[in-house]
A and B are shown apart, each in its own frame.
Chain A
């Protein structure tokens, strides 16, 4: 089992209607503080956030995934931002595709970029050697660049010759493949199809085939494209036919598919005319359905014996999986699927789907909050407002007090990371808040005293209100280091070691961890201690307890974080979340409040 890694997820306010209203309206300062001492919940969201609620799945994100709108002063998540495509490019040849090409040629790469239909690895164009002649090695240049070419997968060794596809040229494979059916027979273009019909040899062959079988049953095998073309032609001729409309309406002009009269005519075919007036009813007989394969009729071939015998032969392994079928692009040159199973031997190379670069907009104020450079090669962003540079990050570390802190050289007083938590034994975690902004922030934390869910663990934040220094220049810290904060931290640690000599008992703990005191602080970070008493996972199944669900043994604590700071008033800012208490100094008070979820560890199963 993989070791558990503590995590922090932040809730985006977009899923919560109350916070949405809060962010748009003026933020009332009278909204009650989260009362930290008894772990009570603040009043403005009248219930504690439950990280296990089904809705929460969709609103919790790691900090890296969140953006921040500077105009709304609010967190934005990938789910609520509006995306706009900046560039399309092929992930294989890295060519940018202009959007005009996209409309005409679709969303796949039209160069020679293909994926293996079996394993989705990239396919390479290789020449099929006719004969490995040892004499040719002397003059390699002439020998290696000739002959038919095939696509081969270097991961699973699939080649396109397995489905009978070979290419004459090593370039513009996409265009060549579009003309080829599996088995190497070429697909007819519309023009060719028309010419074939006129061809006397073809008609005589067809007549011969027709006389061989029973004439009424005979039909041409149409591929999807031909059938569609035939059907379209047939319906167009039907609509254009003046005899089909015995009323004066269509004589007003050549009405196309889009005209209301032809639409109602088509509708009347399917509704049986019963819903329509008499006029429509009388027109029903005017149109008929396709009767021949020339008109696009394709009878379903219900004889599946061929597929069954093939299944017997090749077994389950020969059939294509759902994923493989989903990856297949629609192939117009294909035959009908009537009575056919899908085998892996019929899969075609997949042209690469294009990828995009996207910019992101705030859903409320429509300001752009993330915009990459349009060029595919560059990785820079013109605008990139990530939440990580606005709200404090939270790092979690287990804190062991009985181990006397280990050596002095390292600051780590950690236990084995990822070890399961003992139920009903208090455990301590160090939360390190790191301030990314250039102002000193005041942080207020609130957690419910007991975690929501079936197994309520007790949670106590020992220092729920503290200030974090500004993210100033690194040199400031270096200068301060000799005198201030570092020594303070060391002193604190030293004192802890004195007190907790044999300390696994409760008395030892109180000496070390002081309620209301910061554990350690640095230039722009503060560490505080959270004490948890993990619940017992004991289930009484005789009393109808449901078995343990997935991830239910993970101790997750919801935490409400409120950050307050003073910022310079920006020139163009509306300041929706700000109230200018001391506006004369052009400083305004800002606050940001959000829920987050701390995944501390797994509780040992009893």
Chain B
């Protein structure tokens, strides 16, 4: 903290995103950040894994192809060494990746690998968690450290899950909703971090 690199460890964008210079973002044009999101060093986001087949019939075919691979909401916090990777599967006989969507106030712990199809808002993913392909995590979910969420698993709101494979171990209590807020955590990192309020 005392010895800072001269340029600043983070790139701070106009929308308040704080992206570490040492983070690995592949295919940045396919990564959408909602703003005020922190990306710590050694984070990897695989924006290059885009949809190889456009969903032809369902979406408007005339419009520009939507190539978003990873979309992240506001006040998300991606800890050191975590990886966001869009999930892929066979679709109509051909392999394709699907976009990874993430809501607001999502914390991803260090060393976690996320391959979910969608993650809601106010989700806390602990350290060393593996979120399987096409998992769906709804709002206000706490995933404890070391959990392995199997592919295709759906985790409803207010769940606390843990274990390998993940199983429901509890419910988020009514008074625990505010603990998911990441506004204060956002302020504690960056080029001129503020101390955490006591």
Contact = CB atoms under 8 A, between A and B. Distances in A.
A606 interface: no
B175 A67 contact: yes
Contacts of B158: 379
Interface in A448-494: none
A154 B156 contact: no
Contacts of B1: 409-410
Given A91-B154, A121-B150, A410 B93 contact: no
A64 B150 contact: no
A447 interface: no
B168 interface: yes
Nearest to A156: B165
A67 B151 CA distance: 36
A606 B110 CA distance: 35
A89 B93 contact: no
B93 A64 contact: no
A141 B94 CA distance: 10
Nearest to B135: A122
A355 B160 CA distance: 13
A204 B107 CA distance: 70
Interface centre among B132, B150, B165, B174 (most CB of A within 10 A): B174
B156 A67 contact: no
A536 B90 CA distance: 64
A418 to B, nearest CB: 15
A63 interface: yes
Interface in A513-547: 522, 525, 527
A122 B156 contact: no
Given A120-B167, A432-B198, A67 B152 contact: no
Interface string B148-174: 101111111111000001011000011
- Among B1, B132, B153, which residue has the most Cβ atoms of chain A within 10 A? B153
Contacts of A63: 175
Contacts of B94: 140
Given A120-B165, A122-B150, A527-B198, A94 B175 contact: no
A91 B156 contact: yes
A435 to B, nearest CB: 14
Interface residues of B, number: 33
B165 A64 contact: no
Contacts of B152: 122, 124, 154
A67 B174 contact: yes
Contacts of A348: none
A465 to B, nearest CB: 21
Contacts of A206: none
Given A119-B165, A412-B195, A407 B2 contact: yes
Contacts of A412: 195
A409 B193 CA distance: 10
B168 A91 contact: yes
Interface stretch (A49-57, A269-277, A382-390, A557-565): A382-390
B179 interface: yes
B192 to A, nearest CB: 10
Contact of B153 (A122, A144, A376, A386): A122
B198 A144 contact: no
Interface in A43-88: 63-67, 78
Contact of B173 (A64, A119, A141, A432): A64
Interface string A87-101: 001011110000000
A202 interface: no
Interface in A397-427: 397, 407, 409-412
Contacts of B174: 64, 67, 360, 370, 381, 384, 386
A525 B179 CA distance: 18
Instruction: Provide the main secondary structure of the chain A interface.
Output: mixed
Contacts of A522: 198
Contacts of B175: 63-67, 386-388
Nearest to A384: B174
Given A67-B175, A525-B198, A379 B165 contact: no
Nearest to A527: B198
A395 interface: yes
B96 to A, nearest CB: 12
A155 interface: yes
Contacts of B178: 388
Contacts of A122: 150, 152-154
A376 B138 CA distance: 11
B77 interface: no
Contacts of B139: 379
A140 B92 contact: yes
A137 B93 contact: yes
B98 to A, nearest CB: 15
A155 to B, nearest CB: 4
B75 interface: no
Nearest to A140: B93
A387 B175 CA distance: 7
B140 interface: yes
B176 interface: yes
A93 B198 contact: no
A154 B198 contact: no
Contact of B132 (A154, A388, A395, A407): A154
B89 to A, nearest CB: 11
Interface string B72-102: 0000000000000000001011100000000
A445 B7 CA distance: 49
Most A CB contacts (10 A, CB to CB) among B94, B122, B175, B195 go to B175
A152 B132 CA distance: 15
B151 A154 contact: yes
Contact of A355 (B93, B132, B153, B156): B156
A155 B179 contact: no
Contact of A141 (B93, B157, B165): B93
Interface in B1-60: 1-2
Nearest to A386: B175
A121 B152 CA distance: 9
Contact of B151 (A89, A155, A386): A155
Contact of A78 (B150, B151, B173, B198): B173
Most buried by A among B140, B153, B168, B173: B173
Contacts of B93: 137, 140-141, 143-144
Contacts of B140: 379
Given A64-B179, A65-B173, A407-B2, A154 B157 contact: no
Given A141-B93, A386-B174, A387-B175, A410 B154 contact: no
B44 to A, nearest CB: 23
Nearest to A357: B158
Interface in B93-146: 93-94, 122, 132, 138-140
Given A89-B156, A91-B159, A525-B198, 6 more contacts: A91-B156, A120-B167, A122-B154, A144-B93, A360-B174, A407-B2
Interface of B: 1-2, 90, 92-94, 122, 132, 138-140, 148, 150-159, 165, 167-168, 173-176, 178-179, 195, 198
23 contacts: A64-B175, A64-B176, A65-B173, A66-B175, A94-B156, A119-B165, A120-B167, A121-B150, A121-B165, A140-B93, A141-B93, A153-B150, A154-B152, A360-B174, A379-B122, A379-B139, A381-B174, A384-B174, A386-B174, A387-B175, A388-B175, A409-B195, A411-B198
